[in-house]
Amino acid sequence: MNANDIERAERMSRGRAAIMALAALVLVINLALQYGNPAYVSADVRGASWIVVIGLWLFILWNGGGLRLKGNMRALLNDELSLQNRARALSTGFYVAVLGALILFATEWRVPVGAGDALKLVSGSALAAALLRYAWLEWR
Amino acid sequence: MAEGLANRLRELRAERDLTQAALAEAVGVSRKTINTVENGVFTPSVHLALKLARALDCKVEDVFSLDPKE
């Protein structure tokens, strides 16, 4: 490990945070645009793409990404602070998921919400919140 | 930093003419981690605290201490 590694890790860490913030924004835009459209919750490639997107970003959030990086750089990008930030981000995502599900539960008393849309709203908003929290913690 | 925990990391590092990046390199963490410890935003693990003390050639209680006001 040398000074270049430290500088490079810092740049990559900021880049990762920016990408995660952008991904959160794209998720929210997708949620808004696709809500109520049965084509996006149907059992086909378009419907399944949501599973892929959520699964992919959840995986990246869980392991920090950069799987192609070598040991030192991965260790720097996933040091104590970064691991704590990810844990806090996942905690935020959990609370948003539970609160989102409760809000949808109550909303459904007055406005019908399809199961597919409800599940997309819960999973998408929880993941977007976690990604945004992580990006914010990393940028501080 | 956890409530009631003080640290002299910035002061000790400056005394040794070390940059945050150099100290980060010595203990194997990012520069941001050193910065957040110095600013009291992040409380390091015992493991990292010991590595910081070793890199600064002092005892861990010289770096971290309970806040005297507590």
pLDDT at B1 exceeding the cut of 60: no
The verdict on B24 touching A (C-beta cutoff 8 Å) is yes
The 10s digit of each residue's pLDDT in A45-68 is: 999 999 999 999 999 999 887 778
In tens, the pLDDT along A92-109 reads 999 999 999 999 999 999
Residue B48: list chain A partners with CB under 8 A: 80
Of A51-55, A63-67, B44-48, B62-66, the poorest mean pLDDT is in A63-67
The chain A residue lying nearest B24, using CA atoms, is A6
Exposure pattern of A49-79 as b/e (b: 16+ CB <10 Å)?
ebeebbeebbebbeebbbeebeeebbbbbbb
Q: Which residues of B touch A140 (CB under 8 A)?
A: 36, 41
pLDDT interval class at B4 (50, 70, 90) = confident
Closest alpha carbon within chain B to A13 = B30
Model-level pTM?
A: 0.89
* Distance in angstroms (rounded) separating the CA atoms of residues A140 and A120: 30
pLDDT band at B5 (very low <50, low <70, confident <90, very high): confident
**Domains of chain B (ranges plus CATH)?**
5-60 (1.10.260.40)
Greater confidence (A108 vs A69) lies with A108
Of B21, B25, B33, the CB nearest to A79: B33
Question: B33 to chain A, minimum CA–CA distance in Å?
Answer: 6
Residue B68 has pLDDT above 80, yes or no: no
DSSP string, A17-59: HHHHHHHHHHHHHHHHHHTT-GGGTSSSHHHHHHHHHHHHHHH
With an 8 Å Cβ cutoff, are B30 and A1 in contact? no
If you average pLDDT over residues B30-45, what whole number do you get?
94
Interface check for A87 against chain B (CB to CB < 8 A): the answer is no
Question: What's the gap in Å between the CA of B70 and the closest CA on chain A?
Answer: 26
Quick one: pLDDT at residue A140?
A: 79
Residue with tokens 């040091």: A79
